[in-house]
Structure formats: C-alpha cells, structure tokens
A and B are shown apart, each in its own frame.
Chain A
C-alpha cells in the first residue's frame, strides 16, 4: 500500500475548498460584529452616551435652610439648631457593627431601643449608607465621639440642621410646629422637596401660614454615583434659596409674662398695640412643646395632649368661641349713644318683666342698682339698663353695632384656623332653627349671652376699636423676608367720638371708681391706670328653682360647669396705647382672677413699653435707614 494516494489528494482539494467556505463564513461573522459595533457606537452612540450619563449622574435635592421666626426685637422664636449626630457606615466598621456600637455606647448613652434600631437600620440599608446611631447630642457628647474617632472605624460624626423652638410651649400656638410630610400634604403641593426623606413642613400656626415663604427653594447636588448608588464625588452644588425669616410683632417678654401669669388655667389672652393692631402677646394655655412634633411624637405623648380637658392643642385665642358676657355691653353702649340714648337712664330694681318672663340683674339680691345711666351701667354692669337699651335698639341695630366693632367674623389675623364667632340676627335664627326671632332673645343678646359667640382676639380688637375709635385690625406678622406686610391705616368707625368717649369713661369707672366691677384690682400707679369691662359667660342655664333656693356660687360647682371669666381693657386711660382681652375658661369666681391677671399684664406691658423701645426689627432697621421705630404710633 503506497504511503500517499489519490484519496489524499482528493481530500486535500476538499479541505482547501471547504477552508475557503469557512473563511468566508468567518469573514461574514466579523462583518456582523463590526456592523453591530457601528450600530451601537456610531448610529446610536449619542443615545447610549445620554444613558451612560443618566446612570452616572444623580441629581439629589438639597433641603434649603428653613427661615427663622423672630419676635419684634429679633429674638429667635423658631430657629434651626445644629443637630449633632453620630452615623455608622457598616462596611467601614472594621471590627464589626456590634463592636462599634458597643464602643460608642461607652462614650455616650445608648438605650437598648436605640441599639436595636441601629442594627435594624443597618440591615435594611446598603452597607455604605450612613445610618444614624444617635441624634441631638450635646456638644460634650459630640466632642467625646470626635476625640475617639481614630479608634472608631466606620463611625462618622455629622452635623445636620433641625427645627428648634427655644421657648417650648410658650410660643406653641403662635408658631405651630413642623412635622413629617403626610400624603395629604403631597396631594396639594408638588414641591419635590416634600419627597425628601426626613423633610419637615409647617403643620400649624405661622409655620403653616407662611410655609411657602419659610421653606425656601430646593437646592440640587449633582453627584456621580456607581451602580450601587454610592456617591463617588460631587459634580456640582446649588445650595438653593434659604427660606425667608419672619418677623412677628410679638414681644417675647410680654408673651412670656402673660403665659406665666395665666399659669395652669385653661385660658387665652391677647395684648395689642391699640393704634396699629400689632399683637404683642397671643397666649393660649396650656400649650404644648412643638419640639415634640419635630422629633416625632410618641403615642403616649399624643394621647396625653388630646386627652387633656384643658385642650392644649387648641389655640383658644383664635378658635375659642365664648359668649362675650358683659364685655358685649360696651358695643351696645356705643350704639345706644348714637341712637339717642346718650342721656338715657333707668331705675334698676334687680329685675324686670317682659311678657311672662322675668329678667334679673346681678344686683337683684340687694334690690338693684337704683338710678343707672350709661357710664354707670358699664361701671356696675347693670343688666337691667342694657336690657332696656337692647329693647329700644332692637336686634337689627344691635347686630349692626356688634359687626361694626368687629365681632361675628374672623379678624384676618395671620394664623390658620381662626373662627369667626357668631352675632345672631333674625335671618340667622330663621335659617338655623326655622323660627322667627323672639324679643326675649334680644334682651339676652344685649348682655352678651344667648347665641352670641366671640373669640379672645375679636375681644381684643373690640378693645382697640373702643380705645382709638378706629377700625383697628390685629396683625401678627411685621415682615417676611425683609418685605413689610401691608398695613393699611385703620378706617374710621360708624360711631361718634362722643359715644367712644362715654364708653371709655364707663370702662374707666368700672376699674377706677368704687363700685366698679373691677375696682378691687385697679392699677394704682399714676399715669398707667387702665379702663376695662368684665364679663361672665354662663355655660349652664340657671333654673327658677335654683334662683329661689339660692344660685350656686362658682366655687360650689364642678370646674367644667363654672362660668367663663372675661375681661377687656385699655391703658393708659388718656390716649390708650395698649389693649388686651383675657378669657379664663370656667374661671368665674368672686375674686375675678381674670382682672387680676389683666392688671398684672397691663402694668407689665406699660412699664416695659415695648412700643417705645428703639431696637425693634433690628436686622432690617439697619437696611432701611428711613425706618424709625420712634415714629410709629
């Protein structure tokens, strides 16, 4: 058999032929690969470039610094506090997370709950994500952590910002608070900031009312991230616009004094600049600590607040609806003077009959007030006089006067949720109950009982209007972000100067003349005397039998059945500068505690005299040379 034969030749030919075929196939495949490269890199290259950039670059929102809220002298009422925190990065903790937490626990106090939470958070997050171990550390604690940092791999000290309310409950009803964003908040606000984890927005008070201005505009941080979301470096940073500072007309010192004076009572008190309506203090007690809501309120704390019968969450100064009681007589007296009753007088015997119903005066037990004219009617708060006035005025004129003095509708103070109170009229009664107005109701209305409802801030505005004769409205906000809030000069009121003078005289007599309802608690310092009008709002109906056997004193009744005690005041008597109103829920008592409080507050505010202090609105005073606080009314 030969070593090589024809068969070898034929298979060599076959091999060569098929080699060319396979080579052709390989060339075709390379062509396809090159074509794919062309398609990806040349034809669709720019699109893929965009997608690679979108992978790489992540836009992160940066929360702007929230605007501060300050009082008229620049005292910070709501501010941003440095939040000293300790974070841990799991993957950098060389000796393990547990060891790191134990070491931290030797330096600062960590509760078992905190330790558990950290471990849970670490398990739930990526290993490079910083997880907070402890927040709101003191400087000492923070310094201790920093000192030991070389021995704490994976532990990062961090300084954040958080809202702080240094005056706690005292300012709670004015400021409100910030808290986590709820789904409802997102529904009517499309600011992307609300989606930021841990972002807080205003939920009540000024924080809510001026939320958009205080919040500021979001900044952005363009960061390069890797596939796991880890930030590699920052490419660009825009800090955003910090929120606007809000200057309130409040004087923190007056607010503080009034709060302390009201103490544990369920009460409200408003102190105003009589001329401008600038609110110096707006107190509702008890308050709550707004810092709780920022930190995240616990169930127990929340139930303690909602279960309290003194209603600490309610801002009684603007949402408390109280029958004004005898303070309402001042408005009736204004109408009486301008309706021909300037010289009108009655002989009070303690009771009067209308139809088959007997109306009593407070003085019925001692046989009445005797001869009572308008000023004396205010001084001794004679019901019989004002029944007579009401009967002669008629309900329509009474409604007109009450509305003119500012009752029955919201004052427009810059706080959310203000209630308007109620001045009942014929139309209202018909619509509400389907029965026409009764004359007896007119009489009851005339002394501020019945359906009439007012809020403390309305009562304070009423005092200001009586004190100045002009349509003063309460204002709480002076400027927002260096922009002055509009403050139109108060319009004149549809009452004569004589009417105002007579009512002020009556109110002065009520406080400063023997027999006046508030005489026992008058201000005796010369030049600082106040005028005022007491009021008592019944919360229960006194039956005929009880009247026969002797009306129970407030001290004999359970707290929640006692009468509300009210007082409105202005001072000084000549050219009044300060006005106030006070309501103590179920505070009716022989020693008129509301007048005592009012006297102390009125004395304090006059002696401090914040309107005369030169350094109001300090920051912007420097920016506006023409602004002169001395020139203000």
Chain B
C-alpha cells in the first residue's frame, strides 16, 4: 500500500489531464449563482448594466480564469506557498492598519497600492486557511492538542484577527476566528480544549462588551431592539426585513421591488443584496439560491473528503467553510438574526476584492479536487 501510494504521489498529471479533471459541474453552479448576482446588480441599478452589473461580470470572467489557473497549479506548490502567502497578507494587513484608507463607518479597510485598491482582510481569509492547513498537515491528532503545538496556530489566527478587529471590522474578524477554529476542530482538537473554551467564551461576553466600540455596541443594542432606533441604525434593519418580508411567496417580480427601487434599502448593491433577492423573487427565489449555495458546499465537502492529503482535506474544507460563513453571517444579518456586520453575500454582492478572493478560494478547492490523488507525507510539512 505504501508503495502504491508513493507511486501515486510521484505520478504527475499533464495540464490537459488536469483541465479535463476540473469539476465543471461546480464551475457551472458558481456561474449560476454569479448570474443571480448580475441580475440583482442590474435590477438595483434601475435596469442598467452600469454601474454595477458590467464591472461585476468582467471581474467574474477574470475570476473564472483565475479559478482554472489556480486549479491547474500543483497542490504541493500551494502548500509551499502557504506561509509566504500568509506573510504577505499579514504585512498588508499591518500596512492597512498603519496607513489604510478610511472607508465607510470610519473603518480602515482599504489599502491603495498604486492603481489597485485591495482589502487585505479578504486576502487574509484565504491565506489563513492555507497556512493553517499546512501547519496542521504536519501534526498528528495528538499533537494538535499539545499546548505548545497549539500556541502556534492560535497565534496565526489571533494576530490577524486582532488586526482586523482594530480596523474595526468585527465581521471579518469573526470569520477569521471561525475559519481557524473550524480547521483546528477538523484536525482533531481535543474536546478538553473545546468545551472549556466555549464555556469561557460565554462567560467573557460581558467583558467583551466593555471593549467594544460604541458603534458596535449600538449595532448590538439596535439588533436586540430595532424599535429603539427606528430612524437610525434600526431603520436599516427594519427596511431590510420589510423588503424580504414583502416579497412573500413568489416576490414582486424582477425590477419590481419597491423597497430597493425607491432606495429604502441601505447598501442594496453590496451587503444588502439578499434583501433585493427576497423582495423581487420571494421565498421561492431565496430558497432556490440557498439550495445552489448548499450544492456548492456539498461539492466542497465531498472534495475535502476525497482528498488523499491532510493538507488538501483541510484546505478544501476550510475554503468551503469560509464560503459558508459568508453566507451564514450575511443572510442572518440582513434578516435581523444577528447584528449588522459588514459581510457581503459571496458571488452576489457587488465588490471586486471579495469576488476575486472567493474565486481564488474556489481555485484552491478545485486544485485539491484535481490533485486529490496526490499524497503528501506528514513530515514534508516540516516542523512548522
């Protein structure tokens, strides 16, 4: 068995083999979801491709190319590139904290690099998954829970998460923490760590409250009682709920959403695009898109389980979970289940960095799929 595995690991695939092996069904699913996004961008612009749908389509086409290219690159390259990637993302994140452009709500999220405007926090989501997957690839189950061994991945998660939190961007920080925690869990972190941490987390809520920014506190309070700020922050939540609710079973029809067309919705082309979908296509439309998302996640989980390397498994599942957390947080926040944090709906919300990050992530997922037979020895990860 070891010899066969070794042989398989040594086997090299031609680019053509890889291209044929790309899971085109998944690409089709992703394209379908992106098309829902284009339709929504077109609708909120009042029936115009400008200013949102057209650039979004260009980015998607670029994103698909990126996906395929990333998919064809050998998974071992990605494993080797994981730490440098993480390092670069971390540097950019530090740079953003120091000299980043102040975006909406006074948050430092953008970094201008010449003509490029990038959100290092988005890059960090992928980089963190890559780096953790590589680190955990080298750890046996019992090693994962070893206090000294555990300190390293915790630092890898904690450092960027704190930087992002300082921007301040609670949503992305939450996703980073959730991504990291999920990978540790999947790698076999002992319940002896998990359960006490959960307990401590619950106990820490009052302490965390004291360190939250005023606007974050306001969001939480407004979330708990939207009527308390019916014309301020609560207004956004109320209007979003009205939009979704008024869609009813079948929706008001494409481009017929009064809440979106008459500007009652905040940030309708980005974070609140889900409410436009809810208003114009109703319960049926939302459930359909939710099923598309579920199918993508199903593909992701299957790819993870089919990979013969721990790195591939963790990377594929990490990417899938990252995608899932986007959906969970965005859908929950625009429908009033959790406080509003600035997280877009993947593939549907307007936004360049998020689109490319997601597509890059799917490229990695696809690379895991294409190189699922590649076996990578545990020790090849090195000490780190």
Are A8 and B310 neighbours in the complex by a CB distance under 8 Å? yes
A48 CB within 8 Å of chain B: yes
Q: Which of B186, B187, B248, B258 contacts A56 (CB 8 A)?
A: B258
B378 CB within 8 Å of chain A: yes
Which of A10, A33, A225 has the most C-beta atoms of chain B within 10 angstroms of its own C-beta?
Answer: A33
Known: A33-B335, A46-B248. Is A41-B283 also a contact (CB below 8 A)? yes
Q: Which of A5, A22, A44 contacts B185 (CB 8 A)?
A: A22
Residues of A within 8 A of B142 (CB): 7
Are B242 and A33 neighbours in the complex by a CB distance under 8 Å? no
A301 CB within 8 Å of chain B: no
Are B377 and A3 neighbours in the complex by a CB distance under 8 Å? yes
Residues of B within 8 A of A32 (CB): 332, 337
A159 CB within 8 Å of chain B: no
Are B248 and A29 neighbours in the complex by a CB distance under 8 Å? no
Are A48 and B332 neighbours in the complex by a CB distance under 8 Å? no
Cα distance, A232 to B263, chains bound together (Å): 11
Are A29 and B328 neighbours in the complex by a CB distance under 8 Å? yes
Known: A34-B290, A48-B245, A55-B242. Is A40-B310 also a contact (CB below 8 A)? no
Could you tell me which residues of chain A, from 1 to 56, have a CB within 8 Å of some CB in chain B? Answer: 1-5, 7-8, 10-12, 14-16, 18-19, 22-23, 26, 29-30, 32-34, 36-38, 40-42, 44-49, 51-53, 55-56
Q: Which of A3, A42, A44, A52 contacts B249 (CB 8 A)?
A: A42
Q: Which of B263, B283, B317, B379 contacts A37 (CB 8 A)?
A: B283
Mask, B51-79, CB within 8 Å of A = 1, is 00000000000000000000000000000
Residues of A within 8 A of B159 (CB): none
B321 CB within 8 Å of chain A: yes
Secondary structure at chain A's binding surface: helix, strand, loop or mixed?
A: helix
Cα distance, A44 to B187, chains bound together (Å): 43
Interface residue count for A (Cβ, 8 Å)?
A: 46
Known: A14-B188, A19-B317. Is A52-B378 also a contact (CB below 8 A)? no
Cα distance, A41 to B335, chains bound together (Å): 11
Residues of B within 8 A of A433 (CB): none
Q: Which of A1, A18, A44, A56 contacts B262 (CB 8 A)?
A: A56
A147 CB within 8 Å of chain B: no
B49 CB within 8 Å of chain A: no
B37 CB within 8 Å of chain A: no
B304 CB within 8 Å of chain A: yes
Cα distance, A38 to B290, chains bound together (Å): 13
A227 CB within 8 Å of chain B: yes
Known: A11-B187, A22-B182, A23-B301. Is A38-B264 also a contact (CB below 8 A)? no
A383 CB within 8 Å of chain B: no
Residues of A within 8 A of B287 (CB): 34, 37
Are A37 and B244 neighbours in the complex by a CB distance under 8 Å? yes
Are A19 and B304 neighbours in the complex by a CB distance under 8 Å? yes
Residues of A within 8 A of B242 (CB): 48, 51-52, 55
Closest residue on chain B to residue A41 by CB atoms: B283
Cα distance, A48 to B336, chains bound together (Å): 14
Cα distance, A21 to B80, chains bound together (Å): 30
Are A11 and B278 neighbours in the complex by a CB distance under 8 Å? no
Known: A4-B377, A38-B283, A49-B246. Is A15-B263 also a contact (CB below 8 A)? no
Cα distance, A177 to B247, chains bound together (Å): 52
Are B294 and A10 neighbours in the complex by a CB distance under 8 Å? no
Are B259 and A52 neighbours in the complex by a CB distance under 8 Å? yes
Residues of B within 8 A of A347 (CB): none
Cα distance, A196 to B18, chains bound together (Å): 73
Residues of A within 8 A of B327 (CB): 33
Interface residue count for B (Cβ, 8 Å)?
A: 57
Mask, B262-302, CB within 8 Å of A = 1, is 11100000000000001100110011001001100100010
Cα distance, A8 to B242, chains bound together (Å): 52
Chain B's nearest CB lies how many Å from the CB of A128? 12
Which of A40, A51, A56, A227 has the most C-beta atoms of chain B within 10 angstroms of its own C-beta?
Answer: A40
Are B248 and A15 neighbours in the complex by a CB distance under 8 Å? no
Are A22 and B2 neighbours in the complex by a CB distance under 8 Å? no
A226 CB within 8 Å of chain B: yes
Chain A's nearest CB lies how many Å from the CB of B146? 13
Chain A's nearest CB lies how many Å from the CB of B10? 11
Known: A3-B377, A23-B301. Is A226-B186 also a contact (CB below 8 A)? no
Are A12 and B310 neighbours in the complex by a CB distance under 8 Å? yes
Are B263 and A227 neighbours in the complex by a CB distance under 8 Å? yes
A224 CB within 8 Å of chain B: yes
Are B5 and A3 neighbours in the complex by a CB distance under 8 Å? yes
Cα distance, A51 to B243, chains bound together (Å): 9
Closest residue on chain A to residue B279 by CB atoms: A52
Closest residue on chain A to residue B377 by CB atoms: A3
Residues of B within 8 A of A46 (CB): 248
Are A55 and B304 neighbours in the complex by a CB distance under 8 Å? no
Are A15 and B246 neighbours in the complex by a CB distance under 8 Å? no
Residues of B within 8 A of A8 (CB): 140, 310, 378
Are A4 and B258 neighbours in the complex by a CB distance under 8 Å? no
B313 CB within 8 Å of chain A: yes
Q: Which of A5, A37, A53, A227 contacts B278 (CB 8 A)?
A: A37
Residues of B within 8 A of A12 (CB): 310, 313
Cα distance, A64 to B96, chains bound together (Å): 61
Chain B's nearest CB lies how many Å from the CB of A2? 6
Chain B's nearest CB lies how many Å from the CB of A49? 5
Are B328 and A4 neighbours in the complex by a CB distance under 8 Å? no
B152 CB within 8 Å of chain A: no
Are A18 and B188 neighbours in the complex by a CB distance under 8 Å? yes
Are A41 and B188 neighbours in the complex by a CB distance under 8 Å? no
Are A3 and B301 neighbours in the complex by a CB distance under 8 Å? no
Q: Which of B262, B282, B314 contacts A41 (CB 8 A)?
A: B282
Mask, B249-267, CB within 8 Å of A = 1, is 1000000001100111000
Which of A23, A37, A42, A224 has the most C-beta atoms of chain B within 10 angstroms of its own C-beta?
Answer: A37
Chain A's nearest CB lies how many Å from the CB of B273? 15
Residues of B within 8 A of A232 (CB): 262
Which of A7, A46, A224 has the most C-beta atoms of chain B within 10 angstroms of its own C-beta?
Answer: A7
Known A12-B310, A22-B317, A33-B290; 15 more pairs at CB < 8 Å: A11-B140, A11-B141, A26-B297, A33-B328, A37-B283, A40-B278, A41-B249, A41-B278, A42-B248, A48-B245, A51-B242, A52-B245, A55-B239, A224-B258, A228-B263
24 pairs from A and B in contact (CB 8 Å cutoff): A3-B2, A4-B2, A5-B378, A7-B142, A8-B140, A8-B378, A10-B140, A15-B186, A23-B301, A26-B297, A26-B324, A30-B293, A33-B332, A37-B244, A42-B248, A45-B249, A49-B246, A52-B279, A53-B258, A55-B242, A55-B259, A56-B259, A224-B258, A227-B239
Task: State the 10 A-B residue pairs at the shortest beta-carbon distance, nearest first.
Answer: A48-B245, A52-B246, A7-B140, A226-B262, A14-B188, A45-B248, A40-B245, A3-B377, A41-B283, A48-B246
